[in-house]
Amino acid sequence: MKQLTQTGKTVDEAIATALEKLKKSPEQVTVRVIEEGKKGFFGFGAKNAEVEVTVKQSSVTTEVPEAVESTATAGAKPSDEEIAAEMPAAPVQEEGAEPDFEQQDTESADKPSNDIAIAETKTYLQDVAKGMKIDDLSVTHEKQGKTVRFTLESEKVAVLIGKRGQTLNALQQLAQLVANRHAEQFMIVELDAENYRERRQETLEQLADRMADKAIRTGNRVQFEPMPSYERKVIHQALSRRLDIDTHSEGKDPNRYLVIEPHK
């Protein structure tokens, strides 16, 4: 029996990640929630969820009509008429009646789809914006492999970015949860507005060099304020070419921070 224990920001995200690793659909597994997890407020005070996902054992049961079975037992081969008499009758559609497309559409809508996931994510972002009194939000997207990059445009886009991108980062986490609730395959969601991500990367790279120089000048370790993992990664990569300092991260999310020390 194949089994996997997986953690994530929420139960849904942990399940989605486990399904991706196991390459299974939700119908092919059973899930036991070990830890519900906590979302926190805008990512603060969050606690990871943990689930145990077990792949179901497939079984095929073939039922033999009673009349056919008794005939076969007696050693006689059943006729086509005898077999047909025991088979369930196919539903008969009245002449002139229209097919039930509404039921078919409902069944299709229930199936996971990346296109549906993208549409649902856009709707979610617009609903959140309206709750923030932003009625002119425009959302476009680009796909690259498993990554979908959503770009937000509005006259009040600064409100959606927030101080040092905190609001944008929180929206990105929530958008990823919404997307993977509907996606056929696990999706990585990135949110951007007014090229904030590119501008933030340039700022972090410049800050990294200044902090590294300070560590060398004072001979002491210096530390950054808490920041998301991908921002810490930008600093790690920016300083990877320097041989006079070492970098590492300390603490636990969402308060994990990066430290620079002179190389010994």
Per-residue pLDDT 10s for the chain (264 aa) are: 688 888 877 777 878 888 888 888 887 888 888 877 765 545 455 577 788 888 887 633 434 344 334 333 444 555 555 544 454 454 445 555 554 544 444 444 456 788 999 999 999 999 999 999 999 999 999 999 999 999 999 999 999 999 889 899 999 999 999 999 999 989 999 999 999 999 999 999 999 999 999 999 999 999 999 988 889 999 999 999 999 999 999 999 878 999 999 998
- pLDDT tens, 78-117? 555 554 445 445 444 555 555 454 444 444 445 678 899 9
Smallest CA-to-CA distance from 31 within 9, 48, 8, 14 is with: 14
Q: Which CATH number covers residue 218?
A: 3.30.1370.50
103 part of a folded domain: no
In sequence order, which residues have a C-beta less than 8 Å from that of residue 60 and are 6 or more positions away?
Answer: none
Whether residues 190 and 116 fall in one domain: yes
Whether 115 and 122 have beta carbons less than 8 Å apart is answered as: no
What's the pTM value of the predicted model, to 2 decimals? 0.54
185 part of a folded domain: yes
Other beta carbons within 10 Å of 180: 25
12 sits in which H/E element: helix 11-22
Domain with 36, as residue range(s), is: 3-55
41 part of a folded domain: yes
The pLDDT score that the predictor gives to residue 87 is 46
Whether residues 159 and 186 fall in one domain: yes
